[in-house]
Structure 1
Amino acid sequence: MNSDFESSQEEELSQTYRIELDKKAAKDFKGLPSDIQKRIKEAIDKLQYDPRPPGCKKLKAFQPPMRIRVGDYRILYEVDDLEKIVYIGGIGHRREIYGD
């Protein structure tokens, strides 16, 4: 019984994605109010386990090509399934994030 639990934990860990924030995303994050930072961090942490959660959207002709919403804020990112990496390319208010 315990070995089944351990093997399922190992399998889950092997399927997690590493999160990488580029310099712009890190700067964007630091500039947010602390309550928003907390919500954004929770959403980013969840991407480790499911890089395409319900509600995510594939953007057309835009880099990075994926987006999740956290209230009025957006997290723009790209998923590398081979390397198991989620690259966070932008974080910001919906009015500002797409203009850069």
Structure 2
Amino acid sequence: MYKIVLTKRAEKSLTALPEDVQSRCGDVFDELQYSFAPIRLDVIKLKGHTGTYRIRLGDWRIIYNVDKKNKLIIVYDILPRKTAYRDLKL
């Protein structure tokens, strides 16, 4: 099982989201505990960023990094789709 760790930026973004999106994020985090790239979620590895992935959640993107050695998933941010890749800061 993977441990999910949210950065301060991700925590702030999560609390600012509408309640229904927060709930869906919780469901996604539950799935990520068992696999860093679950088949049933829309997961894509980001080019140019080693071990970094994104999950599409409607109009939102969850950006995270996987540390397979320590079984950690570090969630960097949860961003709106239209600015997610432009505002990406790892």
Q: Distance in 2 between matches of 1:19 and 1:75?
A: 13
RMSD: 1.5
TM-score, scaled to structure 2 = 0.86
Q: CA deviation at 1:20?
A: 0.2
2:7/2:76 contact within 8 Å kept: yes
- 1:57 is matched with 44
Q: Which is greater in Rg?
A: 1
- What SS does the corresponding residue of 2:64 show, helix, strand or coil? strand
Q: Distance in 2 between matches of 1:27 and 1:63?
A: 24
Matched, 1:89 2:59: no
Matches within 5 A, 1:56-75: 56-62=43-49, 65-75=52-62
How many residue pairs were aligned? 85
Q: CA deviation at 1:99?
A: 2.2
- 1:32 is matched with 17
Q: CA deviation at 1:52?
A: 1.0
Q: Distance in 1 between matches of 2:35 and 2:17?
A: 24
Gaps in structure 2 of 5+ consecutive residues? none
User: Percent of aligned positions with the same letter in both sequences?
Assistant: 40
- Alignment-mate amino acid for residue 70 of structure 2: E
Structure number having the greater helix percentage: 1
Gaps in structure 1 of 5+ consecutive residues? 1-15
